[in-house]
Amino acid sequence: MDIFWAKPEDWKNLDLDKISTPCYLVDENLLKRNLEILDLIQKKTGAKILMALKGFSMFSLFPIIQKYLHGVSASSLFEARLGKEKFGKEVHLFAPAFREDEFEEIMKYSNHIIFNSFSQWDLFKGRVLSEGKNIRCGIRVNPEHREVKTALYDPCGPFSRLGVRKKDFQSRSLEGISGLHFHNLCELNADSLERTLAAFIENFEENFL
């Protein structure tokens, strides 16, 4: 599939009949406008916004995007490598499981690694915390609050194995853990995030916050 990237001044003279299809057509003006909105949020809140490579990995546009965002989120070894080599800023990696034979290379490309369970953390923490590594680590938690309407995509649904529940979090050592991660949204808006954040704080404040 082709990629056609038009600069703002080219759009008025663009002859769509001369573009072979299927292709991706990118409007640089709209891209920059969205990035400016994200950057304004970063400046007003102090948050760092990452680009999810799972959703968008057109590395030809990385030189524009990296001017605004702090880095990328990856979900595999090759996404982490793409982020490190082509985006060149922070790489945050989460996966439900890690292959032991890939983990050394994963550490080479990652600034942050999120583990899905304490057993997973116990398996790999010796490598991550070894001398010379500069990687921050987190644990994914399940806020046990449901917002997603389609059960197939609900990470907090019954019997979900994504993230640690409150009952399994008690009395665990957090040495080496610098943050908690949760994900509970799919095609939802900021009000869903607000409610999920409240549930997260209620469940995990005494353990970490």
Q: Which domain holds residue 95?
A: 48-204
Domain count, the chain: 1
Residue 32: inside a domain: no
- The answer, yes or no, to whether residue 66 has pLDDT greater than 70, is yes
Greater pLDDT, 209 or 22: 22
Read off the pTM.
0.86
* DSSP state letters, 17-34: GGS-SSEEEEEHHHHHHH
pLDDT band at 22 (very low <50, low <70, confident <90, very high): confident
Q: Band of the pLDDT at 190, cuts 50, 70, 90? A: confident
Give the residue-averaged pLDDT of 184-196.
88
| pLDDT tens-digit map of 76-113 | 999 999 999 999 999 999 999 999 999 999 999 999 99
Confidence check: pLDDT of 65 > 60:
yes
Q: Which of 102, 60, 63 is nearest to 80 (CA)?
A: 102
According to the model, what pLDDT value does residue 1 have?
44
- Rounded Cα gap, residues 47 and 70, in angstroms: 10
Residue 14 domain-assigned (yes or no): no
58 within domain boundaries: yes
In a domain, residue 20? The reply is no
The pLDDT tens digits for 37-50 are 999 999 999 999 99
CATH code assigned at 186? 3.20.20.10
Mean pLDDT, the chain, integer: 88
Q: Within a domain: residue 2?
A: no
2 has pLDDT over 80: no
End-to-end CA distance of the chain: give it in Å, rounded: 47
4 domain residue, yes or no? no
Segment 166-171 mean pLDDT: 81
Domain-located, residue 7: no
Q: Give the model confidence (pLDDT) of 99-156 as tens digits.
A: 999 999 999 999 999 999 999 999 999 999 886 678 999 999 999 999 988 888 889 9
Which residues, including other chains, have CB under 8 Å from residue 59's CB and lie 6 or more apart? Answer: 82, 86, 87
Q: Would 56 be classed as within a structural domain?
A: yes
